[in-house]
Structure 1
């Protein structure tokens, strides 16, 4: 690996860690919000309010699950960063473009391999 590639990889690792920390903070806030919403929802007496609260709780649960999934993906990407495999396509072994990794640092496939995987879903 060249010095430029090492620097790009290091910057990518820093970006990934920063996004992980931001997402972890958002996840903790979201968990707290969901707990408060459930607690406050138990005090409702009106059936219409209960229906609205149930929808709000479901929406909060979906957001919490999405943030958790992002954290898991980022944890896996951080492990790949530590073992030196971040940026290597799991399917073909080629390099994942730096631009793709800047947008989705947890990406595990290059664009052609991801397109092929999406096509077979």
Structure 2
């Protein structure tokens, strides 16, 4: 005779909350870094960065902020985790790897 030792949990809700936390942290970290880089750009020595490097870093952090913000918006709208290509659910493993993903792996264009 077997006994259930725990109640079933809502794993989808738990995954969603974990992903929301990851996205909020990503947003905060990259926003803070973007603020630092902006301040470095105003300094005469650019905070020790080459101007071109500073520009590339700034662009990268802006993209991370935008990706996280868009994913959080999709969560609020209830469309997060739905592939924009085929309208099927994006696997949780893919979302853990790329929480900002808008496409499932089969719909993701392959690089040349």
Shared fold, TM over 0.5: yes
Alpha-carbon deviation of 1:98? 1.5
Gaps in structure 2 of 5+ consecutive residues: 1-8
Length-normalised TM-score, structure 1: 0.75
Alpha-carbon deviation of 1:108? 0.4
Size of the aligned set, in residue pairs, is 103
Conservation of the 8 A alpha-carbon contact between 2:34 and 2:58: yes
Alpha-carbon deviation of 1:77? 0.6
Q: Which has the higher helix share?
A: 1
CA displacement 1:27-62 (0-9 Å, x = unmatched): 1111112221xx237xxxxxxxxxxx9x81011101
Alpha-carbon deviation of 1:118? 3.2
Structure 1 runs of 4+ aligned residues shifted over 4 Å read none
Q: 2:110 aligns with which of 71, 94, 118?
A: 118
Gaps in structure 1 of 5+ consecutive residues: 42-52
2:87 corresponds to which residue? 93
2:52 corresponds to which residue? 58
Length-normalised TM-score, structure 2: 0.81
Secondary structure of 2:110's match?
Answer: helix
